[in-house]
Structure 1
Amino acid sequence: MNPKELIEFLGLIETLKCNTRHNWTTSGRQESVAEHTWRLAVLAMLMEPDFKDLDMNKVIRMCLIHDWGEAVTGDIPAFVKTDSDEAVEEEAIHSLLDRLPKAASDRFTSLFLELLECQTREAKLVKALDKIETVIQHNEGGTGYWLPLEYDLNLTYGNEICDSFPQTKDLRNQVREDSIRLMEEEKGRK
């Protein structure tokens, strides 16, 4: 990519820093999509020794691009996202990718399709870690920001995909225990 193309594309995805998610930070502000993406990639990087049989470079790249569509659509919480919303987000991803030079577009389109199909172990790991990081952040924000439906969701969100690997199953179980502890602490304050 030449410098002008690179700067133009960075401008397109800059909104990921501005678009907020449903989750809250420990400082009491809404988390940005970019912050979630960064920490998801850090989580994958930290777990690299546990997945020696996977292409962790690919996993981290998938983490970094997994929410690019939200630069256009903004974040829609999983518990209200529809198939129509998914289709709009997928179209947004393709519209962004079409603005890249062909070689880059082909490379990232391949990664997005692999994530979308969720058939490879790398894609399954990204999906599992994405769910786990979301609940970790949810816990960190505290129950004061939870909607009533999220008490159950924090216990069940991503369970199936997290069962794909013993490591993600163990991590999800710990995050679930943390959610239960937060709920018990909240009951104790009432």
Structure 2
Amino acid sequence: MNDAAPVCRFLYEVGYLKRSPRVGWEVGGVAGRIESVAEHSFRTAILAHLIATAEGGNPDRAATLGLYHDVPETRIGDIPYVGRRYLTAAEPETIVKDQTSSMPETISAPIRAAIAEFEAGETIEAVCARDADKLECLLQAREYQIAGATDIDAWIESSKRAVRTQTGRRLAEEALVTHPGDWWRAAQGSR
């Protein structure tokens, strides 16, 4: 790579997502520390990989879509669902084109393609990644619920309704009856 500066600028920009809260939770009354966009994207990528594996898609591609899906939020922020009724934001494909315009084409083209594929939602990998995005929200809502948040049932129900894959629907159902701390209790018992 001859000019690494544009790539480094992009990496610093993406790093901003580690400090960008998912503001919808604030609207829903979640108090205290709120997850960042980057934290959401991490678990979304893990979920996308798992769902695509079970659904017969390419898990690496689905994880890539999940990892990159919110990168455009560095430029427009995390607009809560209720705000989308009143705001018109640039399309994610337009934003990522600007974000990557000075980077080498060999690096920027796959990033732009990932955003476009996720937004189109037509491939099995995109369907799995979009399900992962909704399931991650459902899981986070359950974690906030167990921590005492009382006004997030709408997040749980809308997330559950949006899931399209059989694997995603099974995971959503199980997430509603599995306590978020069960993994820790199970790990303690395995010693």
Task: Give the TM-score normalised by the residue count of structure 2.
Answer: 0.77
Residue pair 1:20, 1:32 contacting (<8 A) in 2 also: yes
TM superposition shift of 1:128: 0.5
**Number of aligned positions between the proteins:** 173
Cα separation, partners in 2 of 1:84 and 1:152, compared to 1, 3 Å: closer
Match of 2:7 in 1: 6
Deviating runs (4+, > 6 A) in structure 1?
none
SS of 2:136 mapped into structure 1: helix
Structure 2: distance between partners of 1:92 and 1:83: 19
Structure 1: distance between partners of 2:134 and 2:83: 15
Identity %: 24
Match of 1:36 in 2: 40
Residue pair 2:18, 2:37 contacting (<8 A) in 1 also: yes
Cα separation, partners in 2 of 1:64 and 1:108, compared to 1, 3 Å: same
Which stretches in structure 1 are left out of the alignment for 5+ residues? 180-190
Cα separation, partners in 2 of 1:159 and 1:45, compared to 1, 3 Å: same
Match of 2:170 in 1: 170
1:20 paired with 2:17, answer: no
TM superposition shift of 1:142: 2.1
Task: Give the TM-score normalised by the residue count of structure 1.
Answer: 0.77
Residue pair 1:139, 1:178 contacting (<8 A) in 2 also: no
TM superposition shift of 1:31: 0.7
Structure 1: distance between partners of 2:110 and 2:25: 31
RMSD: 2.8
- Further displaced range: 101-110 or 85-94: 85-94
Structure 2: distance between partners of 1:153 and 1:110: 29
TM superposition shift of 1:151: 2.1
Match of 2:118 in 1: 115
TM superposition shift of 1:154: 1.5
TM superposition shift of 1:74: 1.5
- Further displaced range: 117-126 or 97-106: 97-106
| Amino acid of the structure 1 residue aligned with 2:172 | R
1:91 paired with 2:84, answer: no
Match of 2:157 in 1: 155
| Amino acid of the structure 2 residue aligned with 1:151 | D
Structure 2: distance between partners of 1:122 and 1:172: 18
SS of 1:14 mapped into structure 2: helix
